[in-house]
Structure 1
Amino acid sequence: MNRLTFKTGTMCTLIGPPGCGKSTFAAQWPESWRVSLDFYRKLAADTETDQSATPVAVQIQDLLLDARLARGLTTIVDSTNLRAPVRSGLLARSARWERPAVAVLFDVPLATVEAQNAGRDRVVPAHIVREFHHQLPTAEQLHDEGWPTVHLASTLTSPTP
């Protein structure tokens, strides 16, 4: 097993469906390192589930991501990041600020994701979890998109800052 460490200023992007463990994984680092669409939706609409608040949540995430990367601060992007255009935009941001980009791919079996989702306080409908799980890219696809470093969550132990 590998321990995940970051160079100062790294943008670490978590990639996986709801319920795969991204937020639990992200919580192992300082709260100030994390940008989270769920959290920004909650700030904008009093609930993480209001998808109509996503556009403003994305604006908040982008603003904070740019602020952190401009300052050379390590940042964890905690959202599904399952769409290639979203990942491309994140890569462009890290390149703009000349910061290292790392992807953590949550290669969690669907049955495990479904079980974890069912046990959460905020359960995502099962059909959405399945749809998102089917969108999961492979490590090879991420490398082809330009991600220089891709870690599989299944191979990682507790991270270190």
Structure 2
Amino acid sequence: MNHPTIHLPASALILLIGVSGAGKSTFARRHFLPTEVISSDHCRALICDNENDQTVTADAFELLHVLAAKRLKRRRLTVIDATNVQAGARQSLMDLARQFDCPLVAIVLDMPEQVLNDRRKTRTDRSFADPVLHRQRRDLWLWTRYLEYEGFSKVYRLKSPEEVDQIRIIRQPEQ
């Protein structure tokens, strides 16, 4: 069986992009070392012991950027686990990639609405109101259509749980 493949440079900034419940954190745990992944939720928890506390979001993203910069400075593969659905939210991360002259890769988890709704019903760790998810889905549609023009060297779009389950990641060796 021929599985879809994602080819990643040895040193890169990878943005996972998708609405809440799309499976970004699960994808990150499956394919990357825990030390390679910087999660906005984890950064919230580091600040206030609650990854769902949206009142510390600004501080959490400040911490996320500091950690990403430290890793990129050392040419370490760095994965950002956040919604990243709006171009403005991605800009400062894109600036970091340019600052450290590393490739920028987008992995978009663009799941069908029914999948998102089903997952939302089974999540006990948090709840999102319909308007939040509708806004995130709209932003995903509006702001990720032209990722190639934003400066991403590669864009991978996964459109179903089956595609996510079958994906293989191949890392290019250091040069």
8 A contact 1:114–1:129 mirrored in 2: no
- Structure having the larger proportion of residues in strand: 2
Structure 1 segments of 4+ aligned residues over 3 angstroms from their partners: 137-140
- The 8 Å contact of residues 103 and 152 in structure 2, kept in 1 or not, is answered as no
Decide which of 59, 73, 81 is 1:78's aligned counterpart: 81
Q: Counterparts of 1:66 and 1:140 in 2: how far apart (Å)?
A: 27
Structure 2: distance between partners of 1:129 and 1:48: 18
Offset, 1:59? 1.1
* TM-score, normalised relative to structure 1: 0.92
Q: What is residue 51 of structure 1 aligned with on the other side?
A: 54
1:95 lines up with 2:98 in the alignment: yes
Query: By how many angstroms is 1:160 displaced?
Result: 4.2
Q: Does 1:146 align with 2:151?
A: yes
In the alignment, structure 1 residue 159 sits paired with structure 2 residue 169: yes
State the partner residue of 2:45: 42
Secondary structure of the structure 2 residue equivalent to 1:123: coil
2:4 is the counterpart of 1:5: no
Q: Provide closer, same or farther for how the CA distance between residues 12 and 37 of structure 1 changes in structure 2, counting only shifts above 3 A.
A: same
The superposition leaves residues 61-104 of structure 1 with CA deviations (integer Å, 9 ceiling, x where unpaired) of 01100000000000110000012112121111101100011001
Q: Partner residue of 2:128?
A: 125
Which residue of the other structure, out of 25, 36, 39, is the alignment partner of 1:23? 25
Give the alignment partner of residue 136 of structure 1, picking from 134, 140, 151.
Answer: 140
SS in structure 1 at match of 2:7? coil
Cα displacement (A) at 1:3: 2.2
1:47 Cα deviation (Å)?
1.0
Could you say which residue in structure 2 is the equivalent of 1:112? 115
Give 1:115 shift.
1.0
1:18 Cα deviation (Å)?
Answer: 0.4
Q: Where do 5+ consecutive residues of structure 2 fail to align?
A: none
CA–CA distance in structure 2, aligned partners of residues 144 and 36 of structure 1: 25
- Identify unmatched segments of 5+ residues in structure 1: none
C-alpha separation between the residues in 2 aligned to 1:109 and 1:69? 33
| Percent of residue pairs bearing the same amino acid type | 27
CA contact (8 A) 1:36 1:61 kept: yes
